[in-house]
């Protein structure tokens, strides 16, 4: 496993599974924390993960949980069966910052990690939230659950 630096200024995604083996995708906004195991995966660099996820077939309808100007990317990811989280702290002032990923879109029919193939399957095994259920649609302080690299 390599020791990659944070992809500075790159709005990328990383993926993880929850305790129910459902999949989540996390959009960093170029500054959100990234688990060390996701960043150091030798399978696929985080900069390339979004394209790989979006190449999967559409398997679900998606529900948008928040109002955003351009929801297309969030909806596309949720339609692949992933719970979608965004690092929305980039839009908050220091006083109101919550330091957590916010759920922004959910699949009606979520996928489980065991259906992923190839590189995505390997990446999915690297990051697992043992005490989190994505279906609860709660804010997620990733750094409270695992070691992360910060911008």
pLDDT tens digit string along 18-56?
A: 999 999 999 999 989 999 999 887 778 899 999 999 999
Lowest mean pLDDT among 93-97, 119-123, 129-133: 93-97
Give pTM, 2 decimals: 0.91
Residue range(s) defining the domain that contains residue 27: 13-146
Q: Torsion angle of alpha carbons 134, 13, 115, 56, nearest 10°?
A: 120
Angstrom CA distances, 76 to 86, 92, 136, stand at 14, 25, 20
pLDDT level of residue 95 (50, 70, 90 thresholds): very low
pLDDT of residue 97: 52
Under 8 Å between Cβ of 90 and 29? yes
Domains identified in the chain, total number: 1
pLDDT of residue 40: 84
Per the DSSP assignment, residues forming a β-bridge with 128 are 17
pLDDT of residue 93: 46
Q: Does some domain include residue 92?
A: yes
Q: Does some domain include residue 7?
A: no
Q: Does some domain include residue 1?
A: no
Q: How far apart are CA 123 and CA 119, in angstroms?
A: 6
Q: pLDDT, tens digit, for every residue of 64-90?
A: 999 888 899 999 999 999 999 999 755
């Amino acid at each position: 496993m390599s020791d990659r630096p944070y992809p500075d200024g790159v709005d990328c995604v990383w993926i993880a599974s929850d305790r129910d083996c459902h999949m989540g995708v996390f959009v960093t906004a170029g500054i959100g924390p990234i688990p060390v195991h996701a960043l150091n995966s030798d399978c696929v660099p985080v900069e390339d993960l979004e394209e790989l996820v979006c190449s999967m077939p559409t398997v679900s309808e998606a529900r948008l949980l928040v109002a955003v100007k351009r929801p297309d990317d969030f909806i596309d990811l949720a339609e692949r069966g992933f719970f979608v989280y965004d690092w929305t702290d980039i839009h908050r002032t220091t006083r109101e910052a919550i330091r957590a990923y916010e759920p922004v879109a959910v699949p009606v029919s979520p996928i489980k990690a065991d259906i992923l193939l190839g590189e995505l399957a390997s990446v999915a095994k690297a990051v697992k939230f043992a005490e989190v259920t994505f279906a609860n649609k709660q804010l997620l302080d990733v750094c409270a659950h695992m070691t992360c690299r910060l911008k």
